């Protein structure tokens, strides 16, 4: 007779609970008891930390704070809280009635562990965040972009490339008239608009549905593009370059992609020093999101891009991808633009686009597994195939 139990590690899901014959009436509650999360609460005072720790202990949840919190010698501490979703929700119920603004913290924890960003509606199109990883195709109408500079400067070539990306599965098209590659120089708004506006207008003559983002840091270009038919502003400076950009967002009701960059493109790679690159990106977006929501911009219209290659080293770019899920705590959709960038070529020791596309695709798979909302890529056809494979395999495995 076998004297060993058969045991194995699994990811708990509704499917697994059904397989063991769990009561169907309570399946959703069952999942919350078996899904575990770790939360970091920053810069709380000694009283808050002690109450959180004691509350966690009453639910059997692990909580870590500074060792001197209990003595009162540590006035400020971070707190790491780990437990099942069910346990964390029990903590929020108990914290609701505690002093020192812990009721507000309870609301934030509850939203963090239970909610997805709300859907974004552009015209009659629903972008359901969390449903899949959307594909954003890149259309550079520039003479000097790092990967395809000059290829689509001619309007006819730009339109044909746009059509091929849509055919190849792009959900969004990002159109830009200024290269923001490392060490690039600025393009005047007038020249930028001369390149992009006719293309947007031409596209809208025959395509009223495809979602178009305008890749610009200039408010006047953003406004002209919105009038021409664009839907989203993709600002590599996250509103730092042009102080009028916020007014344009309010005026046009456009969605916004905020990109993290350490300085302007011409100087951003001169200093890639961070104490903790992901923590600094998180803090940067935390302030930006608050600024926008305080000015009436709905949070589901704010998309964040950690800015791969924008003032980061190769190691830092991989660190961002490794820890990208930490940015989900900001409760905004996440876009990652990693396609064909230098950190890939440096890693694989090749500048050939075919090889760079393979590297891009492998990273896109990692990002898809992490349920990132949008990948911004050059080769949309490969990513359409990747999506089909993932969908087919998901039905089998």
What is the three-state SS of the chain?
CCCCCCCCCCCCCHHHHHHCCCCHHHHHHHHHHHCEEEEEEEEEEHHHHHHHHHHHHHCCCEEECCCCCCCCCCCEEEEEEEEEHHHHHHHHHHHCCCCCCHHHHHHHHHHHHHCCCCCEEECCEEECCCCCCEEEEEEECCCCCCCCCCCCCCHHHHHHHHHHHHHCCCCEEEEECCCCCCCCCCCCHHHHHHHHHHHHHHHHHHCCCCEEEEECCCHHHHHHHHHHCCCEEEECCCCCCCCCHHHHHHHHCCEEEEECCCCCCCCHHHCCCCCCHHHHHHHHHHHHHHHHHHCCCCHHHEEEECCCCCCCCHHHHHHHHHCHHHHHHHCCCEEECCCCCHHHHHHHCCCCHHHHHHHHHHHHHHHHHCCCCEEEECCHHHHHHHHHHHHHHHHHC
Catalytic option among 90, 312, 328, 376: 376
| Residue 341 annotated as catalytic | yes
Look up 287 and say whether it is catalytic. no
Catalytic residue among 341, 371, 388, 391: 341
Active site residues: 341, 376
């Amino acid at each position: 007779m076998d004297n060993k139990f058969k045991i194995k590690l699994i990811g708990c899901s509704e499917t697994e609970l059904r397989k063991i014959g769990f009561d169907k009436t309570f399946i959703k509650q069952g999942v919350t008891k078996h899904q575990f999360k770790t939360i970091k609460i920053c810069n709380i005072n000694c009283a808050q930390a002690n109450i959180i720790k004691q509350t966690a202990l009453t639910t059997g949840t692990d909580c870590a704070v500074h060792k001197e919190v209990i003595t009162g010698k540590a006035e400020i501490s971070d707190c790491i809280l780990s437990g099942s979703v069910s346990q964390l929700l029990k903590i929020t119920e108990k914290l609701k009635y505690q002093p020192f603004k812990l009721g507000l913290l309870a609301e934030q924890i509850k939203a963090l562990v239970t909610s997805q960003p709300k859907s974004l509606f552009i015209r009659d199109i629903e972008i359901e965040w969390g449903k899949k990883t959307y594909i954003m195709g890149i259309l550079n109408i520039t003479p000097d972009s790092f990967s395809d500079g000059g290829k689509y400067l001619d309007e006819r070539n730009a339109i044909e490339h746009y059509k091929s990306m849509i055919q190849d599965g792009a959900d969004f098209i990002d159109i830009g008239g200024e290269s923001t590659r490392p060490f690039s120089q600025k393009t005047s708004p007038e020249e930028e608009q001369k390149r992009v506006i006719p293309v947007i207008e031409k596209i809208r003559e025959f395509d009223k549905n495809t979602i178009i983002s305008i890749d610009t840091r200039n408010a006047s270009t953003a406004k002209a593009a919105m009038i021409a038919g664009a839907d989203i502003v993709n600002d590599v400076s996250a509103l730092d370059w042009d102080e009028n950009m916020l007014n344009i967002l309010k005026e046009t009701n456009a969605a916004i992609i905020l990109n993290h960059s350490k300085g302007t493109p011409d100087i951003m790679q001169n200093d890639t020093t961070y104490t903790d690159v992901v923590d600094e990106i998180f803090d940067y977006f935390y302030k930006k999101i608050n600024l926008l929501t305080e000015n009436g911009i709905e949070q589901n219209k704010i998309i964040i891009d950690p800015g791969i290659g924008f003032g980061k080293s190769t190691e830092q770019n991989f660190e961002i991808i490794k820890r990208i899920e930490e940015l989900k705590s900001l409760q905004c959709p996440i876009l990652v633009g990693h396609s064909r960038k230098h950190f890939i070529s440096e890693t694989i020791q090749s500048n050939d686009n075919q090889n760079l596309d393979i590297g891009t695709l492998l990273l896109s798979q990692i990002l898809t597994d992490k349920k990132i909302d949008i990948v911004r890529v050059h080769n949309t056809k490969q990513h359409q195939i990747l999506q089909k494979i993932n969908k087919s395999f998901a039905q089998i495995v």
